[in-house]
Amino acid sequence: MTTFKEIRGTAIQVVSSDPSNPEEGQIWYNSSSGTLKGYKTVNAWSAGGNLNTARYSLGPGGAGTQTAALVFGGYDGANSTASESYNGTSWTTTPSLSTARQVGVNFGATNTAAICASGESPPGGLTTQTESWNGTSWTTSPAAIGTAVIGGHGIGSQTAGLSVGGQTSPGGQNTATESWNGSAWTSTGHSLNTGRNSGGAGGTQTAGLLFGGQTPGPTNSSATESYNGSAWTTLNTLPAGKRSGFAAGNQTSAIYGGGFTTTNIASTITWNGTTWSSSPANMATARRGGGYSTNSPANLGLAAGGFTTTGVANTEEWTGVGIQTITVS
């Protein structure tokens, strides 16, 4: 009879507590509970409420979580000032940005505290302007970002954030990292190993993750990098390069759904802290360039708006479930 070790190349381990970061397909026996356990990621995209204003080029990013999200700016025939808040069921129009812009540096921990910096404004130009959201209104900050970019990556909270990479001009890629403390931008001097724009990002100011995006050419990037507050480190790559997808998670667990390769795609990949894997769960609508909740955990992602052949309003919610348990006598 074929054994599990012959099939998987490993024996079933006997442990007193569940492993903290199991791999897909891993099986173990928990001696404390007397159960045989296996890890299988069960993922699915489902329909959420529609945006009030269909648009794309919303980031990458947005702010908040799947049940308390905020997306702002973008393109709806012109650079947009539209701002909307999500409660897990429906979107509500909030007071507008002061300056219309698309593909800005967007981040924030909740839908009541967010930052929108740089981006394209006016049409064809770049702005260094920063705006902050307090749950009631957007306020223009006197603090300008050091490097104006489009498609830069926002990571962190309203008082402890990062602007990473981005495109500085047609074909020009920024590798710089700037930190935000709630009132001012500071150059960290810590450069990305691969300069790019319009990738996926997650994590915090001192534990960030950046993946995919667009490099000069233009070429889709498969690079993954992590940040510890002092330096960027190159990690295992995506299965294939893509840009402008929908991200959620952190350094140890992340997803990247949809986006663009040579066409819009609906597929999703997942990160376990070491490697990327293809998920069998596809988005209902293949699209790119929408907004997502930058502080959602990897099992609760959000994809709002985006581009198919035009801007769309639909929202999809990602749900991932982890350990499945089998009880043995």
User: pLDDT by residue (tens digit) across 69-115?
Assistant: 999 999 999 999 999 999 999 999 999 999 999 999 999 999 999 99
181 and 224: one domain?
A: yes
As a whole number, mean pLDDT of residues 225-243 equals 98
The whole-number pLDDT of residue 327 equals 54
Same domain, 33 and 117: no
Is the model's pLDDT at 137 over the cut of 80?
Answer: yes
Using CA atoms, how far apart are residues 161 and 180, in angstroms rounded to an integer? 5
Model's pTM, two decimal places?
0.86
The number of beta carbons lying within 10 Å of the beta carbon of residue 251 is 17
80 shares a domain with 35: no
Check whether 326 has a pLDDT greater than 70.
no
> Which ranges in the chain belong to alpha helices (H)?
4-8
Confidence of residue 3 (pLDDT cuts 50, 70, 90): low
Decide: 119 and 102 in contact? Cβ < 8 Å.
yes
CATH assignment of the domain containing 56: 2.120.10.80
The predicted pLDDT at position 35 comes to 86
Residue 160 has pLDDT above 50, yes or no: yes
Mean pLDDT of 167-172: 87
Q: With pLDDT > 70 as the criterion, what percentage of the chain qualifies? A: 93
Query: What token pair was written down for 300?
Result: 């609760």
User: Are 167 and 225 within one domain?
Assistant: yes
Give the range of the structural domain holding residue 34, as residue numbers without chain letter.
4-41+323-327
pLDDT surpasses 70 at 4 = no
Would you say residue 324 has pLDDT above 80? no
Identity of the highest mean pLDDT range in 4-8, 40-44, 114-118, 317-321: 114-118
Residues 12 and 78 grouped into a single domain: no
Residue 329 binned pLDDT confidence (cut-offs 50, 70, 90): very low
Contact between residue 305 and residue 86 where contact means Cβ atoms under 8 Å apart: no
- Find the mean pLDDT for residues 27-55: 88
Total tally of structural domains belonging to the chain: 2
- What average pLDDT does the structure give for the chain? 93
Strand order through the sheet with 130-133: 105-110, 113-117, 130-133, 138-141
